Amino acid sequence: MSSWILLLVSLAYAALLFGVAWLGDRHPMYPNRPWLRPVIYSLALAVYCSSWTFYGAVGTAVRQGLGFLPIYLGPILLLLLGWRVLERLVHVARSQNVVSIADFIASRYGHSRRLGAMVALIALLGVVPYLALQYKAVAMSLQVLSPDQLSSTGVLTDPALYVALMMAVFAILFGARRVDATERHHGMMLAIALESVVKLVALLAVGWFAWRMLSSAGTAPMAAMEQMFGQQLPGNFLAQTVLSFLALLCLPRQFHVAVVECGNVADVRRARWLFGGYLVLISLAVLPIATAGVHLLGIDGRSADTLVLALPLADGQRLLALVAYVGGFSAATGMVVVSSIALATMISNDLVMPLLLRRDDDVHASARRAARVLWIRRAAILGLAVVAYAYYRLSRNDATLASYGL
């Protein structure tokens, strides 16, 4: 495909998300609708499904069989067994006006600024490779769809650099336009809900196409999947399940969406089934895609991360490949935007502003402080993008998406 077409599609889709977010901020559509609010909340929780899910889960399924399952199983177990913990977190956060996970943990220990700063630093260090994963995934998909026109050898010709900058700009437009005491972004939640629908539809479409390919080739899909996934579980299955169980609470973007942005405590109970069903559908879509890649294309572990795109291309289905690209781009964009906003909030509130307030004794300069906070957050979002891109360039470019994520 032409790189210009891919670029225009990416910009158009990102602009669509921003337009939805802008409308959601100007005209709140869901907070006062009890039937719609839990749906938006549940779909926004699906920001958990990043590029690691969209591309990396299929690659892991090819390499390790059911080794892809823990990243879905952990959150499902939390929703089934530990949902009251999440409900309690939302209740406490709403009563104390908590705006980040650093703010929440610090508030449990006498509003300790040092503890809040330490949590913010840990989150910052942990999120950098996770952001790099998204840039790597989008750059990989661009090179699969347009191999002769895009190169990653030089910095200025690397599509990952421009992906990082574009996502940083949209993160600034989404979440650093004004300072809100509650840090709730109704427009952002609406846009993230839309991107969750897009990536689910895209992955299900490729999954259905893979099922039809298996059937057309004379292979019984159920038998082929049973043969491929009926193997012994990998040794780190339990450890990854526990990590994924905790990730739904502890990842900065998940805490922001699940706790800070929750409009009503009762929404948690409904999200148990809506978001749980979403994860089940995503995991089911992985099975036929990985099976078709191994049985029909002979995909090995090295190129398995590109299978969601390679499968439609192998049959000449360029439109479906483009739909899959939009789904993967959507998964990456949602993760980067929400993570950047959550991290920028912690950087400004827990790292930078406490130092500035020590030097500023003017208690009446609230407007000036608000403007300063905005510029700090914008600089933090851009700085995060640059540092994450540097991590992507300096680390081994042949690493799988799952290894980045873990």
Q: C-alpha distances in angstroms, 267 versus 14, 262, 275?
A: 28, 7, 11
What whole-number percentage of the chain has pLDDT above 90? 45
> What SS3 state is found at 95?
helix
For residues 286-308, average pLDDT: 85
Contact 104, 252 (CB under 8 A): no
What pLDDT, in 10s, does the model give residues 45-103? 999 999 988 998 998 888 888 889 999 999 999 999 989 999 999 999 888 888 899 99
Residue 259 clears pLDDT 90, i.e. is over it? yes
> 152-183 b/e with 16+ CB inside 10 Å = b?
beeeeebbbbbbbebbbbbbbbbbbbebeeeb
pLDDT of residue 14: 87
Q: Enter the tokens of residue 289.
A: 């895609």
Q: Name, in order, each residue with C-beta under 8 angstroms of 394's C-beta and a sequence gap of 6 or more.
A: none
CB 160 within 8 A of CB 138: yes
**pLDDT per position as a tens digit, 125-166:** 999 999 998 988 888 888 888 876 666 567 777 778 888 888
CB atoms within 10 A of CB 209: 20
Buried b (16+ CB within 10 A) or exposed e, 119-139: bbeebbeebbbbbbbbbbbbb
Q: Is pLDDT at 182 greater than 70 in this prediction?
A: no
pLDDT at 205: 96
- Per-residue pLDDT tens over the stretch 88-136: 999 998 888 888 999 999 998 988 999 999 999 999 999 999 999 898 8
Give the 3-state secondary structure of 123-153. Answer: HHHHHHHHHHHHHHHHHHHHHHHCCCCCCCC
Distance CA 245, CA 247 (A): 6
Read off the tokens for 153.
């050898």
pLDDT of residue 64: 87
Residue of 25 and 212 predicted with greater confidence: 212
Cβ(204)–Cβ(398) below 8 Å: no
| Selection from 181, 188, 264, 178 nearest residue 25 by Cα | 188
Instruction: Give per-residue pLDDT as tens, 3-22.
Output: 788 888 988 998 898 888 88
Mean of the pLDDT values across residues 380-396?
Answer: 89
Q: Output the CA angle 388-104-94, nearest 5 degrees.
A: 115
Which residues lie below 8 Å from residue 176, measured CB to CB, with a gap of 6+?
341, 344, 374, 377, 378, 381
Write the DSSP string, 269-324.
HHHHHHHHHHHHHHHHHHHHHHHHHHHHS---TTSGGGHHHHHHHHTT-HHHHHHH
Which backbone phi and psi does 142 adopt, to 5 degrees?
-65, -40
